[in-house]
Structure 1
Amino acid sequence: MRDEKGTAGKIGLPMRRSPQRSWPMFLRIFVLGLTTVLLVQILNFAIVLLMPPPRPQIFTANRVAAVARTGRDPAGQLKVEIATGPPQPTDNPRDGRLAESIAADLGLPRTKVTVETERSAMPLFAGPLRPPLPLGMGRSGHVPQSFDNALFGPFVVSIEMPNGRWRVIRPTHTTIGPWRMRIVLWFLVAMVVAAAVAWVMARRVVRPIGLFAAAAERLGRDPRAEPLPIVGPPEIAEAATAFNLMQERLNRYVEDRTTLIAAVAHDLRTPLMRLSLRLEKAPEDIRAASEGDIQEMSQRIGSAMAFVRDMTRHVRRQRLDLRSLAESVADDFADRGDAVALHPGEPLALEGDAPSLKALLANLVGNAVKYAGHAEVEVRRENGVAIVEVSDSGPGMAPADLARAFEPFFRAEQSRNRDTGGSGLGLASVRAVARAHGGDATIENRPGVGLLARVTLPI
């Protein structure tokens, strides 16, 4: 078993945490929440300093009585309405004294006038958001004598008219005045500022997680991709280290198994050579049959070693035109006299390894030409992926064979003829190349007759 420390050091994976100090993620989230709350509190404190509440308008009982006589307020600060129903009675002693003062000024009985103070059409703006009373005045109803004849804040004065209706007098602005509108606007500004700061800080907190997810997706497309950089909070750094070790172990596992197959295939050539030499003294009929088997075994060993060599070689990804590769493959087969047709279409660029993708196309086209005598190739873009379809009008495959078509050394042709059966590694190589590029390969019978091989590759 290899030394993991030495192997990790060979590929540049740090086995220990980076000496660079970084805040833990839970502390970053705590600081984010605390900073946002403090920012909101600072903005709220700024409201108190920059926008002190205004002094309320004070109306005397004499002014209310004058407005009741004329039916309008020249200053526009009081509005007069007509109501059909009687007002609700009040038990506030100060309201009673105000009603008596207004009734005496108008020369009406006390029962004809009703005063209701501290009533707001919008309870949301009552209580803490209500403008303060003048200095020295409380809200319990006990007020100094100098304010006993004054009305302020939300109030309603109802005066019964001779026709049985009621003249209602109230302040023009009792709910959302300019001061309260400024508070609402300031609140919206504070929300926008706090949301922007929280958005920026949250993006910085979750950025390492996004990089981690991108690395996991890249590993699925290319197991030999570069290791994940060890950056970010300690939790992310530890996860990245474990991720890199997992990637290294997976690559080592695959390489060990591939090396074993290559070693076995290589070592089998020596006993096959000895068998060939010994068969020279064998009878003619036995020698002819045995030489055929030895030749088939040699071909299989050669195919296995070529397959292993293709899967283990260093892949260099670059931007390429998939349609140009398909045209090159189709021209190669056409030069040999094979019937291969490539459907027209637009160029299709993607990141990939040109030799591997060209071998993939050659395998698919070669199978179609071998078993059907012709091949039709179509390359197109669909739903953000590149699709390569190779179809023919040959005999097709049995449904049971379709499920095993991509297994190594599986050949659907039951005759096992060396000239037509192949080694059984062509489709296995096709799927391996497609999955190494983050795609996949499938094969199915066409409606009617023939086969359709489809390869999907991410763009």
Structure 2
Amino acid sequence: MKSFQSLSLGMQVFTIVLITFVAAQALTISAIVIAPPPPSSMFTYAQVASALKGDAGDFARLRRRTVRKLPADMQLPNHPAEITGATRVAEALGVGAGNVRLRLRSSPVLVILTSGRARSSYWSTADGRVGRVDPKGGSAEFVFHLTAEPHRRIRTETIRGQFVAALKRPDGQWEIVTPNPEYEWVRRLAIWVAGGLVIIGPLAFWFSRSISAPLRRLASGADRLGRAQQVNPLEISGSSEIVVAARAFNAMQTRIARFVSDRVGMMGAISHDLRTPLQRMRFKLEKASPAMREPLLSDIQQMERMIDSVITFIREDSQSSPRRRVDLGSLVACAVDDATAAGAEVSMSLDAALAVEADPVALQRLFQNLISNAAKYGGRAEVSIERRAGEACVTIDDEGPGLPASELEAVFAPFYRSSTASASSEGIGLGLAIARSIARSHGGDILLQNRARGLRAIVTLPVADD
């Protein structure tokens, strides 16, 4: 198993195709050897005549039908054996030879050749070629051509293989008789093939799973990493191409984790260095006049809030908490209750119970931010939850002035403040950036749309599998 998986993808596919081809050929050869096709049925002219008359008898192997007009190739006989055979059938029916037609579909007929007192048996084909009968079943050497030696006296005894015999009725229509197909051999062959598929199918499924399993592991790891989830190093196994990709993925994950850790550490050091001079400034302002102290203290506090917000943004954007299955409706309801308790006017409607795999604390912060923004800048918030195309969709509407079309996407940039938010001294422009970062880390997103009256925020999240 391991030696097969260590091959390149191309060699694995080639091996599977080769094994399948060999198995199919072996199955075909076995079917032919164990269940060979039956020999062509043989019918006497008396049997054909009885079938044309409509006598069932023991001739269920013959099929009878009525047509208005004969096919063009049966209007005139082409072979001496057909002429003789039609005559023999007419004699058995007691009708004129012109009322019977016989067409041999490249089938051999047993021919009794008489020359004086000598009688010999041969097989003759529809093109007039005659060969001596091989006792072991095969045709021997070519003897002569019937049409080239008309002096030969020919008497056919049986018809073997496919043929068409026709009898003209008094009303001008024709009764046609043909041999029934050999269904029994086809049935046995179908059973043999089905048995082969039962044996080969599980092997083919196992081979395909062994090829696709490393690819599924790689895809799953990449998806979890894209959702900011902790991913264990991938197992180094599979084809040579998968081994190279898995090693590159593990190395990339290590580099990303190291980069994020270094960035968080650097920002922590910067915040510490910035807080030290700010604290010194705060001490010095204690001796300043009240007219100077109040505005400068306000600026220092704003700078401290900015530092705290930046550190929080970087930490939450780089760290992932364990995910668990949560009820989205309950989580949003908690955010609505918090906003209502703070004095905001918020309503909520829920179309269906939806579950998501999420970090509850992070999602709680996301919805608190959006609901508080809607209540603050739009007067009130209307929250609804529904399922759309396999995703959970949370819509938050307000009745505010909305945003210019050019700012619907720009407001998600860190430190960007819209014209409406700039009128307020609160906030530094990280709320929506943090909210979108949380949504995208869960495999979703946030979009803003202007309504006829107000702004609409749409949060989409993947629904957890049942």
TM-score where L is the length of structure 2: 0.73
Cα 1:224–1:179 shift into 2, 3 Å: closer
Q: Which residue of 2 aligns with 1:216?
A: 222
Q: Is the 8 A contact 1:55 1:134 kept in 2?
A: no
Q: Which residue of 2 aligns with 1:30?
A: 14
Q: Deviations over 1:347-377 (max 9, x none)?
A: 4322111211111122222223333454333
For residue 169 of structure 1, report the CA deviation from its aligned partner. Answer: 7.8
For residue 315 of structure 1, report the CA deviation from its aligned partner. Answer: 0.7
Whether 2:246 is the aligned partner of 1:240: answer yes
1:349, 1:281 → 2: CA distance? 57
2:100, 2:353 → 1: CA distance? 89
Cα 1:420–1:343 shift into 2, 3 Å: farther
Cα 1:222–1:108 shift into 2, 3 Å: same
Cα 1:107–1:443 shift into 2, 3 Å: closer
For residue 229 of structure 1, report the CA deviation from its aligned partner. Answer: 2.8
2:49, 2:265 → 1: CA distance? 107
Q: Is the 8 A contact 1:377 1:391 kept in 2?
A: yes
1:43 to 21, 27, 44: 27
Higher alpha-carbon deviation: 251-260 or 348-357: 251-260
Task: After TM superposition, list the pairs within 5 Å mapping 1:52-451 onto structure 2.
Answer: 52-59=36-43, 63=46, 74-76=57-59, 87-91=75-79, 116-119=103-106, 135-136=136-137, 138=139, 142=143, 149-156=157-164, 172-173=178-179, 175-183=181-189, 186-187=192-193, 190=196, 194=200, 197-280=203-286, 285-344=291-350, 346-413=352-419, 416=422, 420-448=425-453, 450-451=454-455
Q: Is the 8 A contact 1:262 1:308 kept in 2?
A: no
For 1:405, what is the secondary structure of its paired residue?
A: helix
2:420, 2:377 → 1: CA distance? 13
Task: Give the unaligned 5+ runs of structure 1.
Answer: 1-17, 121-125, 127-131
Higher alpha-carbon deviation: 265-274 or 198-207: 198-207
Q: Is the 8 A contact 1:90 1:115 kept in 2?
A: no
2:21, 2:307 → 1: CA distance? 70
Q: Deviations over 1:244-268 (max 9, x none)?
A: 2223323333343343333323311
Task: Give the unaligned 5+ runs of structure 2.
Answer: 108-125, 127-132, 145-152
1:111, 1:75 → 2: CA distance? 27
1:261, 1:59 → 2: CA distance? 99
Structure 2 counterpart of 1:457, one-letter code? L
Higher alpha-carbon deviation: 174-183 or 229-238: 174-183
Q: Which residue of 2 aligns with 1:452?
A: 456
Q: Is the 8 A contact 1:307 1:429 kept in 2?
A: yes
1:102, 1:339 → 2: CA distance? 102
1:455, 1:309 → 2: CA distance? 22
Q: Which residue of 2 aligns with 1:129?
A: none
1:271, 1:42 → 2: CA distance? 85
**Aligned residues: CA RMSD:** 4.4
For 1:409, what is the secondary structure of its paired residue?
A: coil
1:446, 1:159 → 2: CA distance? 84
1:118, 1:98 → 2: CA distance? 14
Q: Deviations over 1:324-357 (max 9, x none)?
A: 2223233333333333333355543221112111
Cα 1:166–1:228 shift into 2, 3 Å: same
Cα 1:70–1:133 shift into 2, 3 Å: farther
For residue 432 of structure 1, report the CA deviation from its aligned partner. Answer: 1.1
For 1:32, what is the secondary structure of its paired residue?
A: helix
For 2:231, what is the secondary structure of its paired residue?
A: coil
2:314, 2:276 → 1: CA distance? 19
Cα 1:140–1:441 shift into 2, 3 Å: farther
Cα 1:446–1:98 shift into 2, 3 Å: closer
Structure 2 counterpart of 1:432, one-letter code? S
Q: Which has the higher strand share?
A: 2
Q: Is the 8 A contact 2:52 2:166 kept in 1?
A: no
Higher alpha-carbon deviation: 189-198 or 324-333: 189-198
Identity of aligned residues (%): 34
TM-score where L is the length of structure 1: 0.74
1:269, 1:203 → 2: CA distance? 57
| Count of paired positions | 425
